[in-house]
Amino acid sequence: MNQPSSPQAFPPHGIQGSKLGQRVFLAFLALVACFYAVLVGYHAYALNQPKQVPFAREMGFMEECRQICMKYGLLTTGHVENDARAYLDKVGAKTLSAGLSELLQDKLFTPVPTMEHPLLNKPAPEFSLLDVDNQTQSLSALRGKGPAIVVFYYGYGCSHCVAQLFGLNDDLRYFQELGVPIMAISTDAQEHTAEKYKEYGKFNFPVLSDPDNQVAGLYHTFFPATPDKGEDQLHGTFLVSAEGQVVWANTGHQPFIDNKSLLFQIAEMTGFKPAADSTTQQAKVDDPAAH
């Protein structure tokens, strides 16, 4: 007769379950340990990374452009000149039409004063940059020939940002009459500007390429990114004397479009005296007491 198996031949089911539970528990502890190790490693990595900044600051000056367009209700159409002129119209910029002497005799006009700026009354940083024809243009070449205007703009990538150049080109004859050259600077490559010239026409003053914003940095219109904020860029308009000193400055996220103020500043700086307009001259002829 077959004898029943010894009770010690197989471990009781309770013992088997206990060992399985221990294995599951140990596996769980291992997973928890791995999770915490990953978490600690992530925090250690994050502490060594630059602080995240809000979206607007990460976008920097291009976000500023978008906000300005929204402020004036401007919609991008893809036609740079039309969009630029729409901006000029929205901000009240008007093409000058009177003679230079008549403009400068406007007693009711108050020109915009200079802003405080680190370069004010100091030597303007020198630069030598390529124009659209790959010719080198330098500020030092203008030294001693009279005042000059240096403009920093964002380039054709922002239609309202290039608006100042359209406005300056419209009023260029006044600056030429005062003998004041204009130089405009952006990061646009010469080839890119040349392509835009074919589409919209050229500006009748040098437009220079500062691809790495090195010159813009010298003029405090470009600020590279830091751990606390993204990079930023400003429009800048500088009036430089014949001796090479910055005598007037305006910077900001919107371009300076008040050309009449620039003309007044130049006339004051150079001692230009507007001739009496034709109305005044005729009054002297008709009035014997005026002789």
Domains of the chain: 55-270 (3.40.30.10)
**pLDDT value at 208 more than 80:** yes
| pLDDT of the residue at 71 | 75
Identify the weakest region by mean pLDDT among 41-50, 120-129, 173-182, 198-207.
41-50
- Mark 129-151 as b/e (b = at least 16 C-beta within 10 Å): bbbbeeeebebeebbeebbbbbb
Nearest to residue 202, comparing CAs of 190, 194, 210, 211? 194
| Residues near 195 by beta carbon (within 8 Å), at least 6 away in sequence | none
Q: What is the pTM of this model?
A: 0.74
**pLDDT value at 1 more than 90:** no
pLDDT band, residue 283 (cuts 50/70/90): very low
User: Mean pLDDT throughout 80-98?
Assistant: 91
CA distance 212 to 109: 39
Identify the weakest region by mean pLDDT among 98-102, 143-147, 166-170, 274-278.
274-278
| pLDDT of the residue at 74 | 76
Between 40 and 194, where is the model more confident?
194
pLDDT tens-digit readout, 132-143: 999 999 999 988
How do beta strands 207-209 and 182-186 pair?
Answer: parallel
pLDDT band, residue 144 (cuts 50/70/90): confident
How do beta strands 148-152 and 182-186 pair?
Answer: parallel
pLDDT band, residue 269 (cuts 50/70/90): very high
Burial tier of 76 (Cβ tally within 10 Å: 0-12, 13-18, 19+): middle
What letter does residue 10 receive in the DSSP assignment? Answer: S
**pLDDT value at 99 more than 50:** yes
| pLDDT of the residue at 14 | 55
**pLDDT value at 45 more than 90:** no
Between 49 and 14, where is the model more confident?
14
| pLDDT of the residue at 3 | 52
Stretch (H or E) spanning 67: helix 61-71
| pLDDT of the residue at 69 | 72
Name the 3-class secondary structure at 291.
coil
| Residues near 269 by beta carbon (within 8 Å), at least 6 away in sequence | 147, 239, 241, 247, 248
pLDDT tens-digit readout, 168-186: 999 999 999 999 999 999 9
**pLDDT value at 150 more than 80:** yes
CA distance 86 to 63: 19
| pLDDT of the residue at 230 | 86
User: Mean pLDDT throughout 9-25?
Assistant: 59
